[in-house]
Structure 1
Amino acid sequence: MTDRTRHFEMALKALQDKIKEYLQDILLVIGKTMNALKTGEEQIIREVEDFDDVVDETHRQIEADCFDIITRFHPLAEDLRTVVTAMKLSSDLERIADMCVNIAQSARHISRNLTGFVLEDIFEKMLNTVIGMLQGIVEAYLQMDTNQALEIWKRDDVVDDLYLLGREKLLEMAAREKNITRARILLEEAFILRYFERIADHVTNIAEEIYYMKTGKDVKKLLRPSDS
């Protein structure tokens, strides 16, 4: 093994280790976000907001590392896909953290816990599905499990259906509501559903990125050829 190859492998491993830590950080912030939503506690909401700065810095570091690896080593084939995937994945994780901040701030505006939500059953189903997807995608990346990535990718349809159902009901209720404050809260709940739907979209992107990194194939062309 040449020095160049050894240095490249060390840089690639360091990048992958940083991604793994980033994934664990996102699991931490989503946990805090759930607590903020369920309790409405200001301290927890602020912790989510503050953590976003940490996530942003990690994202910048990973981007810089990726560009450095490409510039120094000119990787090819699967190695190049690994670096490009890390860059895309980092961007999706940063967006997930942004959605967490939005959710926490909405919890502040509503000023009540999850049990007071109008569509508590839909919220619970959607949140549980999204959290399960996020936990699963962390495992899929750690194990480089393309089958698990595919299964997570398919779950996005469940989240989309719940979002559309919940949004329609909330907008109808808001339109009929004569109390302005109450109508605003209903719309805020619709925004929260939207934020979780966006998190699921980014998890789906990560599933596609994992699959592409390992196979060089596009999941959407494989499973939804008519959409491509």
Structure 2
Amino acid sequence: MAIRIYGSKWHVYAGLAILNPFAKAQIQQYVQSVSELYKLMITRNRDAFRTRILEAGKFVFGGPDRYREPILLTDQIMEQFSLGSIPPKERKGNSHLSLLAMVDCWHRMGINPFDHLICQTPPFRLWLGITEYCFKNCEILEESMEAALTDQDIHVEDLSFYTAALGWAQCIQLGSFEGYNLRFQDTADFFQSRFDEGKRNSTAMINLITKKTAKVHGA
């Protein structure tokens, strides 16, 4: 998803973020969610962290008492792109803080992303699909929460993520197109060699998601 975004024109995403007041509010809440979850992680406040994540997940995706078949990324789709379930012993710990914070953000703002799925962009569908896959797979979600609370190496990586997210949010809140351009181009240069492969894979995955979404909504 990142490669697809950074393979596009910077001004498209700058306009969506800076010129849309609702986007600014959501970005601000997202960074707040990242910050608050990260504080719970490094202080190992297990009960508060787990309660917050599980409540947010239930609000957006439903809990065990409200089962709904995943409409976006299934195991079958993930396996087509070598992203399917990996045996626990072979998986590296990952807090998936970016995904946990997104769901927490929606929960805090009272947003259900599925209600407006049809009118959203393809990258949004892909982002939502990845997030749903993490939260609807109980094993992966439990591993993510445990890693977030106990893995010191992940805390180091997530500190870098938090710092970057804060920098992007400040740039957007200030309405700085120049700053956005500089940040965007710097990251795009890092991904440059992977653009062609990344675009092919993301396009194929988005097409599959779009077909599933159309069937669910009777299109």
TM over 0.5: no
Q: Judging by fraction of residues, say which structure has more helix.
A: 1
Please tell me the TM-score bracket, short chain as reference. Answer: 0.3 to 0.5
TM (norm. structure 2) is 0.37
TM (norm. structure 1) is 0.36
